[in-house]
Amino acid sequence: MSAGTRLRVDPIACDGRRLCAEVLPELITLDDWGFPIIRDVDMPDHLLDEAREAVRLCPKLALRLDGPRAP
């Protein structure tokens, strides 16, 4: 567990492109309108790579990792 490292979305920037939910379904689900709901938990170590990938792939730059293990 990466203590205190969390995935956050900027809801204004987010446009519901859904790539994040494809890369990281363990932590990101979509609401009925296609916008990401991110589980509010510390990032597990084994998902850190996928989380970074999700951040990199977001075409709106709306995702970020916050905390000690943020890239």
Partner 1 sequence: MRITDSFQRLARPESTQVPDCLPRLLPAGLPAGPAGLAGHLARYGPPPSPGVDRRRREGLIEEVERSGLTGRGGAGFPTARKLATVAAGHAPVVVANGTEGEPASAKDKVLLARSPHLVLDGAVLAAEMVGAGEAIVVVHHSVRDVVDDAAAERRHAGSGRIRIKIMTGADRFVGGEASALVHWIERGIPTPTSRPPRISERGLGGRPTLVQNVETLAHLALIARYGASWFRAVGTPQEPGSMLVTILGAVNHPGVHEIAIGTPVQQVLSAAGGASAPLQALLLGGYFGKWVGAEAAATRPFSSAALAALGAGPGAGLIAALPGDACGLVETARVVRYLADESAGQCGPCRYGLDAIAGELQRLTEGRTSDLSTLRRWLGQIDGRGACHLPDGVTGLIRSALDLFGPELEQHAQGWCCATRTPSVLPVPLRKQR
| Cα(44)–Cα(46) distance, integer angstroms | 6
Part in contact with partner 1 (CB under 8 A); list of ranges 9-17, 20-28, 47-55? 9-17
User: What is the Cα 53 distance to its own chain's centre?
Assistant: 9
Part in contact with partner 1 (CB under 8 A); list of ranges 20-28, 31-39, 46-54? 31-39
Among 15, 22, 26, 49, binds partner 1 (CB under 8 A): 15
Per the CB < 8 A criterion, the answer to whether 58 and 19 are in contact is: yes
Residues 32-61 that bind partner 1 (CB under 8 A): 32-35, 37
Tokens of 55: 């951040």
